[in-house]
Structure formats: structure tokens, C-alpha cells
Amino acid sequence: MKFKLGISGDLINSEGIPCFGEKPLEKIYNRGDIDLEWMNPNIREISQDMAAKFDAILLNLPKATKESVNRVDCRLKIISRFGVGFDTVDIVAMKNKNIIVTNTPNAVRRPVAVAALTMIFSLSGKLLLKDELVRSGSWNERTNHMGVGLTEKTLGVIGAGNIGSELIQLAKPFFGKIISHDPFLSLEEFIKKGIEKVDLLELANKSDFVVILCNLNENTKNLIDRKFFEEMKDSSFIINMSRGPVINEQELVFALKNKLINGAGLDVMTIEPIENDNPLLEMKNTILTPHALCWTDECFEAIANEAIQSILDYKDNKKIKNRVN
């Protein structure tokens, strides 16, 4: 029986081709022992039929739950997540069924860090507002909209792991000081990175720009709440590049409306796609992007290569580098 690989159909673009290009798939096309099949692009969750059909799934948006793999004829052996996050996969359930889960931390390290910098520069320079000045014929109002310089400002990074470390290195030439909160890193590791270790509320109080880069789990859901916002400076900005539920969205709206903070840059929301009546859509002091700010041709090709390599390593009985369970 041939090894069967299913790939998330939501990775096909409107032109009917893989959004990451064809080149990463050549590793599979050149083999005669793997059958590749594109899955339905509209599925929200891996079904038991799919788990019984495929040996491996390259998974993008659909969820993989305990129910997905609960049938006795489950054939699935590895799920390779297209991206770094794996909160849509029931890791415990997969481990209990001896199903390997992998992600692509190396491919997204630089792109997400650059995306965070893009948010910082856009907010500090009032990019969208100044674009609107030109388009609305309000050129001469530019003196009323000074941006914020960074050389004497403090950047606070929540999560100094893979992507956080990359952002810290990229941001050092721009900021006067960088501080971070990460309960999983030792003081020695912070010293190596050349940054100050602080607790969460101290980071809120001292930072001019806060960037969230931690994983979403039971401990980080609603981590950023009203208490955090009340500690922030009214001139400060918050940027979320991790997962929407890390921020209590209702309390973020309150903070923005009541000017507890200056603005926000969100690449992720609590509900995605964002609801049509979400008050964030009406706020001029926000930049909202569709969980895609880091998406570039280079980024997606690298993610696809890393995700596919994990599947091939499993098939060839080689060491799998990016296991998360």
C-alpha cells in the first residue's frame, strides 16, 4: 500500500495553484512511493474518514481534534503543521494515538520578526493616517500628525523564544532599550541576549511598544487584560503577532476607546476572520492585518519546504527535527 499524503486545500490560491509555489512539491513528485492528494479547501476539521485515508497530512487551517483520530481504523501517523503555531491540534490526543506533530519554526523566524517591525514602524510613523491625508486632499494637515521616534524608547517583548529572539536582534539598532518577559528563560539566557528580564506588569509599565510573541495555551489565554492595559503608558502601543486570544479583546477595545494606550497593531484576532461588527474596525488608532503580515513568497516556500521535509523524514525513518510532541 502506497504512503498517502493529504495537503490542506486552503493552501491553493484563487488561480488553482499552491500559494507556496510548485517547487517544494518536487520532492514528492520525484518519488514513486508517495501519493499526494489535495484535500477539500472548505473543511474546518479533519474528519475520521480523512484520518483513515492518509498516512500524513500537511495541515494549514483545519483543526485536528481527539474526535478526528478516534476511530479504530485511523491510519494517520504524522501531522505537519504549515506554520509555527499548533494550538489547532490536540497535542495530547495525537500523542495518545502515537501520531507525530511537527511545525516549521525556522521558516517563520525571520518573516514574523520582520512583520513585527513593520507594525512598529507603521504605528510609530502613523503610516496609514498619512496615507489617508494624501488621498483625502489633506496634505497640509501633516504638521498635526507627528510620528514617534524610537531611539529613546523601550521595546517590551512578551516571549523571547525563537521569533522573539530574532525580533530582539533586529530591533536593537532602533530602540534605546529592550526588555522582555518570558517565564521559561533563565536570567543567564536574558543576559546572553543582552536584554533585561522583567515581570509582566513591569513590562507593561516600562514599555513604549509591546510586542506579543508567546504561544497560546491555558496560561496565556487572556494574558493581556485590563490590569495590563492600566499599567501601560497612555502614549504606548501594543502589537500582537501570536494568537488573538492572548489578548482579552473586549478589554483592548476599552483601553483604546478610553485612551489607556495610544494604539494597537493586530495581525491576529480572537475570531478569524474578524466579525463585521467588531468595534476594532472603526478605530483609527489600530492597524489590522488578516493573520498574514509575514506572508511572502520566500516565507511560504520556506514553510512548505520545512513542513514537507518533516513528512519525508518520517517516511524515510530519519530523525524528525521539528517535533512538538
Which residues have a catalytic role annotated? Answer: 243, 272, 291
Q: Which residue has the cell 499524503?
A: 5
Q: Half-sphere exposure (CA, 13 Å, Cβ side) for 91?
A: 11
> Hunting for cell 507525530 — which residue is that?
100
Q: Which three cell numbers stand for residue 277?
A: 461588527
237's grid cell: 502601543
**Cell for 74?**
485511523
Rounded Cα gap, residues 269 and 114, in angstroms: 19
Contact predicate 305/107, CB 8 Å: yes
Strand order of the β-sheet with 196-197 is 196-197, 177-181, 154-158, 209-212, 237-240, 263-266, 286-288
Tell how far CA 26 is from the center of its chain: 27
SS (H, E, C) 73-96: CCCCCEEEECCCCCCCECHHHHHH
SS3 state at 316: coil
DSSP state of 245: G
Core vs surface per residue 152-165: b (16+ CB within 10 A) or e: ebbbbbbbbbebbb
All cell numbers assigned to 271: 475570531
Strands 154-158 and 209-212: parallel
